[in-house]
């Protein structure tokens, strides 16, 4: 089973793909979809739509792949595990985060893959044992637990690595979810 973990954000949308057979989780890729505000004098709503399209286009590339055998586009994943939207202190930040979630929800609908959500605290507890773990503790713990993370994470600029790390954390926090367990049984 292939699982997509996501840390949705409007400027930095972290993602991680892992293979899971019920016993072992192997990271096969990770990255960050980045968008920046247009520096030209463009209306904010117009700019937001362009940024949403960029997130959607890149997320589609992450979620789908062309089969080398049949040349057909196939789903690359079976389920999405996401860090849920937590309290955002500013209305404009909450609005932009909601736009990123809208793109994720539509992508999920198009490829017919469910989304599981876990709070940041649930993710930290599942990964480190503490709901108050730092970003550094999360990264250290996940890199030790999943050596396959090192190579794809190395391709991400250092200051942005927290986003795919959180995406992998979302996967770890969801592994015992009944939807994943049923998906595994359906593949036996």
User: Please, which residues bridge with residue 27 across strands?
Assistant: 18
8 A C-beta contact, residue 169 and residue 83: yes
Domain boundaries, the chain: 2-186
Residue 69's pLDDT is 57
Closest by CA to 155, choosing from 11, 7, 29, 36, is: 29
Task: Please name the residue that has the structure tokens 């996501």.
Answer: 6
Report how far residue 16's alpha carbon sits from residue 146's, in angstroms, rounded to the nearest whole number: 12
2-186 has which fold?
Answer: Nucleotidyltransferase; domain 5 (3.30.420)
Closest by CA to 28, choosing from 134, 175, 148, 131, is: 148
* Per-residue tokens: 55: 């997130």
How many Cα atoms are found within 13 Å in the side-chain-facing hemisphere of 5?
31
Closest by CA to 116, choosing from 108, 126, 124, is: 108
Report how far residue 65's alpha carbon sits from residue 80's, in angstroms, rounded to the nearest whole number: 16
Output the tens digit of pLDDT for each of the chain's 188 residues: 999 999 999 999 999 999 999 999 999 899 999 999 888 888 888 899 999 999 999 999 898 765 555 555 566 789 999 999 887 788 988 999 999 999 999 999 988 899 999 999 999 999 999 999 999 999 999 999 999 998 999 999 988 999 999 999 999 999 999 999 888 876 55
* Per-residue tokens: 80: 């999405």
The DSSP call for residue 159 is: G
Report how far residue 79's alpha carbon sits from residue 147's, in angstroms, rounded to the nearest whole number: 22
8 A C-beta contact, residue 165 and residue 18: no
* pTM, to two decimals: 0.91
The number of angstroms, rounded, from the C-alpha of 185 to the middle of its chain's C-alpha atoms is 24
8 A C-beta contact, residue 138 and residue 128: yes
């Amino acid at each position: 089973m292939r699982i997509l973990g996501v840390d949705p954000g409007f400027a930095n949308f972290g993602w991680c793909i892992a293979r899971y057979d019920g016993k072992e989780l192997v990271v096969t890729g990770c990255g960050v979809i980045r968008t920046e505000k247009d520096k030209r004098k463009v209306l904010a709503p117009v700019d937001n739509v362009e940024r949403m399209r960029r997130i959607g286009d890149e997320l589609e590339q992450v979620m789908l792949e062309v089969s080398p055998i049949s040349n057909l586009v196939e789903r690359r994943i079976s389920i999405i595990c996401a860090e849920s939207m937590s309290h955002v202190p500013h209305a404009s930040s909450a609005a932009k985060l909601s736009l990123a979630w809208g793109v994720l929800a539509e992508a999920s609908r198009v490829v017919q893959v469910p989304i599981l959500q876990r709070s940041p605290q649930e993710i930290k507890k599942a990964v480190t044992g503490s709901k108050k773990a730092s970003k550094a503790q999360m990264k250290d713990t996940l890199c030790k637990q999943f050596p396959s993370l090192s190579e794809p994470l190395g391709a991400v600029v250092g200051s942005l690595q927290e986003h795919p790390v959180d995406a992998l954390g979302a996967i770890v926090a969801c592994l015992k979810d009944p939807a994943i367990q049923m998906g595994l049984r359906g593949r036996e």
